[in-house]
Amino acid sequence: MSGHSTYEPKTGFERWLDTRLPIIRFMNDTALDFPTPKNLNYWWTFGGILALMLGIQIVTGIVLAMHYVPHVDYAFNSVERIRRDVNYGWLIQFMHANGASMFFLAVYVHIFRNLYYGSYKAPREVLWILGCVIYLLMIITAFMGYVLPWGQMSFHGAVVITNLIGALPVVGKSITTWLWGGFAVDDPTLNRFFSLHYLMPFVIAGVVILHIWALHVPGNNNPKGVDVKSKADTVPFHPYYTVKDGFAICVFLLMYATFVFYMPDVLGDAINYVKANPLVTPQHIVPEWYLLPFYAILRAVPNKLMGVILMFAAIAVLFILPWLDTSKVRSMRYRPTARLYLGIFFLACLVLGFCGANPPDQPILGHEPSGFMLLDADINSIVWLSRIGALYYFAYFLLVMPILGLTETPLPVPEGISEPVLSHPAAAPTGAAAAPEKRG
Amino acid sequence: MSKMLRKGLALAALGLALIGGQAMAASEADEPRAPSGGWNFDGPFGKFDMAQLQRGYKVYREVCSACHAMDLMYFRNLGQKGGPFYDPKYPNPNDNPYVKSLAKDIQVKDIDNDTGDPVQRPATPADKFPAPFPNEPAARASNGGALPPDLSVISKAREGGPSYIYSLVGLGFNAPVPAGLTVPAGKYFNPYFVGDVSSAWHGKGPAPKGGFISMPPPLAPGKVTFDDKTPSTVQQQAKDVAAFLAWAAEPKQEERKAFGLGAMIYLFLLTVIVYFSYRRIWRNVSH
């Protein structure tokens, strides 16, 4: 789809520049005339929303860094000073803190859209892997950013997570000490987290450029999951998708603004308004909402090292997803059974999130444990619920995806974006279903 | 719960065994209650009642400040826009004569410029609220080992916010101690204080919700005389100081809401315009 350029330099300067650095041609071909399937729905607007959120986080972050003091004695108060004494500091700080949540909300929608419409499948594997890299970098960045206000949860969250590295055999302890810059989470840790928190977004921006590059080689997937056949299937990105993305961005900003202006603290933990105190451990140490499912997987395993491995595996498994899914049909519009399993997967993620937010031995039903111990924990406890959730999480990727693609009978897939399903002879209502290996 | 589980959990998530061991053992408190009529600063259009903030400041100054610091507060904050003593005639709160006189009554530590000796001098609006104790050990020593928390952002640092503060100091101490509960010496039972009283419980049924707090009942009828003749009941004092602390936790929250209204209207109009542009641009595309 990319390749041919529609750009024609109009002025003398443009012609001069075009033979030296064809940057206007590049911008034109990637952001204006780029042919885009005409049937993209609103789930496809989250890429633009994510680009905007990255921009907002970088801009607000740069301003915050002008006022923030990365020192254990001053960090907490400097954040409060930004809110109290810096002109519009409250706005910038709340935008940044809530922006992280909005960023993750958008990335989760973006990921689930991929899972539903099979956008990770050939020829978009590299595009998907780059997306996974961005997601991993986002998690690392958000974690370090959460440490910076130096509240109770910042500090103790940092202690818990950095200690996980210590579970590695032989080298664990040395690596942890190296990460901390000392023998505990302290001033050197805060300083390096600040430095890296400032660096990472630019690394993300770099990978985003690769992500967009990898998108522009095969072009967008679309809700039907079939390849673009002709120019009639596409519209130029501008103005068609700039305006559609623009509308979605406005709606998203309305929601974002509701949080920033009317409930800026609702997504955070009250205890992070208490200055970090290494000697007082909060009763419940929980990460921000967007990391709760991984936290639940970590706690589901009785062995610390195995828990850490499984938690990282939960993200690592995403990288090999294109090769785990054996179905050649991209869009789940034509895979009703797969749709059901994906629905349960979504539910499992929510359940894991719930488990991550609650203490492990809290009963699920009623207020009392059942009294029946299954192996090491009461059957009526968060531990077992998170184990069921974690089991399904991995089973979905490692069992459902490979097996279902080979065994299911997908619905007839349309030949092209512009043609309806029934116009195709193979899809005549005689019950002749498309073979699973038939490429949509 | 078995020892094995405890050990397993400790390994699984470090330090989380603490949660595991205590989560079921109560740590519950009564749901904080807002005063009747709610808070007038609640909601997207809520605003602080200036008279209430002034009364609340008086309660803090005459009662709470004996033990509790407010490290993030400066006297000038009292006269800034949205503050208890804001006067439009003095956009710079440092010039506000009322704030100046409030500050002057308080002594703060300083260094004598000529001799370098530590001295006491009357505060100015540019000064911080002075802390009642020089350091944490001193604060603990004067309070039976307990540390009175800093109140600057306490309203954000506790679940329930101002309603929690109101319930704790305005309602909780009036609640009768349940029969069968042995209150340790130097402690006070408060149903709104998060804690675990099960080890001191000898009555029937489950232990009552609440905890033992080291702070003696701080308020009493008539303890603070309000300049605006508002009857000085315990609940009134509690309500007013909770409102003051809610303001102090984020002095710019009125500005935030006002700015938000403009931003929401702007975004809404923009959304409508972009939506119709979208419909117009796409009108000839079948998709």
CATH number at residue B226: 1.10.760.10
Q: What is the pLDDT of residue B230?
A: 95
Q: What is the pLDDT of residue A422?
A: 52
* Cα(B69)–Cα(A210) distance, integer angstroms: 52
User: How many domains would you assign to chain A?
Assistant: 2
User: Judged by CB atoms within 8 Å, which residues 173-202 of B form the interface with A?
Assistant: none
Q: What is the pLDDT of residue A369?
A: 81
C-beta atoms of A283 and B24 within 8 A: no
A174-178, A222-226, B35-39: least confident range: B35-39
Q: Predicted confidence band at B174 (pLDDT cuts at 50, 70, 90)?
A: confident
Q: What is the pLDDT of residue B205?
A: 87
Give A306→chain B minimum CA distance, Å. Answer: 8
Amino acid of residue A174: S
Burial B22-37 (b: 16+ CB within 10 A, else e): ebbebbbbbebebbee
Q: What is the pLDDT of residue A2?
A: 46
Segment B228-236 mean pLDDT: 95
Within 10 A of A27 (CB to CB), how many other CB atoms are there?
12
Q: Predicted confidence band at A317 (pLDDT cuts at 50, 70, 90)?
A: very high
- For the cut 60, the answer to whether the pLDDT of residue B1 exceeds it is no
User: How many domains would you assign to chain B?
Assistant: 2
- For the cut 90, the answer to whether the pLDDT of residue A404 exceeds it is yes
Sign of the torsion angle spanned by Cα atoms A279, A282, A283, A285: negative
Q: Which residues pair with B211 in a beta bridge?
A: B190
**Residue A275 — φ and ψ, nearest 5°?**
-60, 140
Q: What is the pLDDT of residue A377?
A: 85
Q: How many CB pairs under 8 A join A and B?
A: 157
Sign of the torsion angle spanned by Cα atoms A309, A310, A314, A320: positive
* Cα(A205)–Cα(A196) distance, integer angstroms: 14
The packing angle between helices A304-319 and B3-13, to 10°, is 50
Q: Are residues A168 and A291 in the same domain?
A: no
What ipTM describes this predicted complex?
0.89
- Mutating which of A98, A155, A304 best tests the B interface, going by the most B Cβ atoms within 10 A? A304
Choose the final residue of a domain: A246, A267, A283.
A283
Residue B207 lies in a domain: yes
Of A83, A243, A299, the CB nearest to B281: A243
Give A93→chain B minimum CA distance, Å. Answer: 12
Q: Are residues B153 and B256 in the same domain?
A: no
Q: What is the pLDDT of residue B287?
A: 65
C-beta atoms of A261 and B44 within 8 A: yes
Q: Parallel, antiparallel, or unpaired: how do β-strands A373-374 and B211-213 relate? A: unpaired
| Nearest Cα residue in chain B from A76 | B72
Q: Are residues B159 and B190 in the same domain?
A: yes
* Cα(A152)–Cα(B59) distance, integer angstroms: 28
Sequence-separated (6 or more) residues with CB below 8 Å from residue B38: none
Rounded percentage of chain A residues whose pLDDT exceeds 90:
84
Nearest to A408 by CA among A341, A327, A345: A327
Within 10 A of A202 (CB to CB), how many other CB atoms are there?
9
User: Judged by CB atoms within 8 Å, which residues 36-95 of B form the interface with A?
Assistant: 44, 71-72, 77
Burial B118-153 (b: 16+ CB within 10 A, else e): eeeeebbbebbbebebeeeeebeeebeeeebbbbbb
- For the cut 90, the answer to whether the pLDDT of residue A247 exceeds it is yes
Q: What is the pLDDT of residue A432?
A: 41
* Cα(A236)–Cα(A37) distance, integer angstroms: 9
User: Judged by CB atoms within 8 Å, which residues 41-70 of A form the interface with B?
Assistant: none
Enter the tokens of residue A159.
Answer: 């202690």
* Cα(B85)–Cα(B83) distance, integer angstroms: 6
- For the cut 70, the answer to whether the pLDDT of residue A299 exceeds it is yes
C-beta atoms of B271 and A307 within 8 A: no
* Residue A250 contacts B where some CB pair is shorter than 8 Å: yes
C-beta atoms of A261 and B71 within 8 A: no
Segment B135-152 mean pLDDT: 95
Nearest to B220 by CA among B238, B202, B207, B208: B238
Q: Are residues A141 and A197 in the same domain?
A: yes
* Residue A280 contacts B where some CB pair is shorter than 8 Å: no
For residues A332 and A428, the model is more confident at: A332
A44-58, A280-294, A409-423: least confident range: A409-423
C-beta atoms of B282 and A240 within 8 A: yes
**Chain A residues close to B277, C-beta within 8 Å:** 243, 246-247
Sign of the torsion angle spanned by Cα atoms A116, A117, A119, A123: positive
Q: Are residues A116 and A186 in the same domain?
A: yes
| Nearest Cα residue in chain B from A297 | B12
User: Judged by CB atoms within 8 Å, which residues 339-368 of A form the interface with B?
Assistant: 359-363
Q: What is the pLDDT of residue B284?
A: 87
Residue A141 lies in domain: 29-283
Segment B205-210 mean pLDDT: 89
Q: Predicted confidence band at B128 (pLDDT cuts at 50, 70, 90)?
A: very high
3-state secondary structure of A377: strand
* Residue B250 contacts A where some CB pair is shorter than 8 Å: yes
pLDDT tens digits, one per residue of A85-99: 999 999 999 999 999
3-state secondary structure of A296: helix
For residues A362 and B75, the model is more confident at: B75
Q: Are residues B137 and B247 in the same domain?
A: yes
Q: Are residues A36 and A102 in the same domain?
A: yes
C-beta atoms of B259 and A243 within 8 A: no
**Residue B189 — φ and ψ, nearest 5°?**
-80, 135
Of A250, A270, A373, the CB nearest to B271: A250
Segment A302-331 mean pLDDT: 96
Enter the tokens of residue B72.
Answer: 């993030």
Q: Predicted confidence band at B14 (pLDDT cuts at 50, 70, 90)?
A: very low
Segment B145-156 mean pLDDT: 96
State the CATH number of the domain containing residue A217: 1.20.810.10
Q: Are residues A251 and A291 in the same domain?
A: no
- Mutating which of B92, B267, B270 best tests the A interface, going by the most A Cβ atoms within 10 A? B267
Q: What is the pLDDT of residue A421?
A: 55
Sequence-separated (6 or more) residues with CB below 8 Å from residue B232: B221, B222, B223, B224, B225, B226
pLDDT tens digits, one per residue of A108-137: 999 999 999 999 999 999 999 999 999 999
Q: Are residues B189 and B277 in the same domain?
A: no
Enter the tokens of residue B183.
Answer: 């209150």
* Cα(A203)–Cα(B260) distance, integer angstroms: 32
Q: Are residues B188 and B67 in the same domain?
A: yes
Q: Predicted confidence band at A378 (pLDDT cuts at 50, 70, 90)?
A: confident
3-state secondary structure of B108: strand
Segment A273-293 mean pLDDT: 94
Residue A10 lies in a domain: no
* Cα(A220)–Cα(A35) distance, integer angstroms: 9
User: Judged by CB atoms within 8 Å, which residues 103-132 of A form the interface with B?
Assistant: none
Burial B41-77 (b: 16+ CB within 10 A, else e): beeeeeebeeebbbbbbbbbbebbbebbbbbbbbbbb
Q: Are residues B63 and B193 in the same domain?
A: yes
User: DSSP E strands: which ranges in A232-362?
Assistant: 234-236
Q: What is the mean pLDDT of chain A?
A: 92
Residue B196 lies in a domain: yes
Residue A429 lies in a domain: no
C-beta atoms of A243 and B274 within 8 A: yes
CB B285 within 8 A of CB A235: yes
Residue A1 lies in a domain: no
Choose the final residue of a domain: A265, A283, A301.
A283
* Cα(A76)–Cα(B200) distance, integer angstroms: 37
Sequence-separated (6 or more) residues with CB below 8 Å from residue A13: none
C-beta atoms of A247 and B260 within 8 A: no
Give A148→chain B minimum CA distance, Å. Answer: 17
| Nearest Cα residue in chain B from A152 | B157
| Nearest Cα residue in chain A from B73 | A84
Give B17→chain A minimum CA distance, Å. Answer: 9
Choose the final residue of a domain: A283, A308, A337.
A283
**Chain A residues close to B256, C-beta within 8 Å:** 90-91, 94, 261, 264
Residue B200 lies in domain: 28-73+129-251
* Residue A9 contacts B where some CB pair is shorter than 8 Å: no
* Residue A178 contacts B where some CB pair is shorter than 8 Å: no
C-beta atoms of B267 and A239 within 8 A: no
pLDDT tens digits, one per residue of B177-193: 998 999 999 999 999 99
Q: Predicted confidence band at A420 (pLDDT cuts at 50, 70, 90)?
A: low
Q: What is the pLDDT of residue B50?
A: 96
